[in-house]
Structure 1
Amino acid sequence: MAIDYTASVPGSTSTNKTATGTPAPSKTQVDYNSFLKLLVAQMKNQDPTKPMDSTQYVAQLATFSQVEQSVQMNTRLDQILQGSALAQADALIGRTVTSPDGKTSGVVAEVRLFKDGVVAVLTDGKQVVINPGVSIKATPA
């Protein structure tokens, strides 16, 4: 189950898009694609009379394999983090949340997940960004 965090927390200034409005590739993808381009270019441009040493070629293939496994592992970790964020969001519903400054407090009716954070929507419609300093308590019966 994949969850797309495409929106940003209201008031947040972080963006993850290029100037054309398309999603920016992650740093891992850029490094992975760059590695592939470099390997292909090296193989295309080597001198046929002096081919690359076979041990170097095997070492590069091993490096390629490690990079590919790292990309797959990062994808799986992202999925685990998304699942964890959903579980934490579910645990907030029905609890009393107080903002770090103490000005906003109430019972959580809804939780919204964004790419860069979590926002709790209170029963009175006010919103509290869940970040360090927020107080979360069990709601008295």
Structure 2
Amino acid sequence: MEISSKNTNQLYKTTERGTPIVKPGEDMNKNTFLKILATEMSNQDPTKPQDTTAYVTQLSQFASLEQMSTLNTTMRFAGAQNLNGKFVALDVFDTKGVQESGVVKSVFKRGNEILLTVDNGTGKLKEYTFDQVSDILNMEDSNKDNINFINTSALIGKTVDIQDANGKVQGLVKEVYRGANGIMVRLDVNGQPVDYPYGYITNIR
């Protein structure tokens, strides 16, 4: 079966001259930029060669833009990490039109996307994107503590994962109380009661 140059170009997303096609919204990395540059050089008019300094300038400009993009991503992630433990409002609404909110429990990256796990009072940790955070709510410590206590009390009867200095533990929440170290949860771990600070909870099953 004969494969036309048109089909080959469509398969590898290039123009008829071999220039890589980058659609709007797609990222163009350095390798793609170099391929475009190499294609331009190979297709230039030999009687009117382009000054090589122009290519060097283009590559330098792209490298600067790439560094700025990397710096912006790093700064965004650092900003997201500062939300740990804070009460945030999210640009997400439930079926009744109520805006979702809660305490940020962790911040992490999945690929190029920055994600948050938020304790929104439903008894489960829910994932949101950093871009869905619409506001950071400054709440009095007493109010925040009461909300945390109510949210943690909703975990009674649920199985949770705990992460402490000794590793990961799984147990059934039997009791929630306020102790000298703040809000505590009492778990049934293999038939034995074990107490942990509620902040050690990493997952709700």
TM-score (structure 2 length as normaliser): 0.33
Where relative contact order (Cα < 8 A, 6+ residues apart) is larger, the structure is 1
Higher Cα Rg, which structure: 2
Point out the structure with the larger strand share: 2
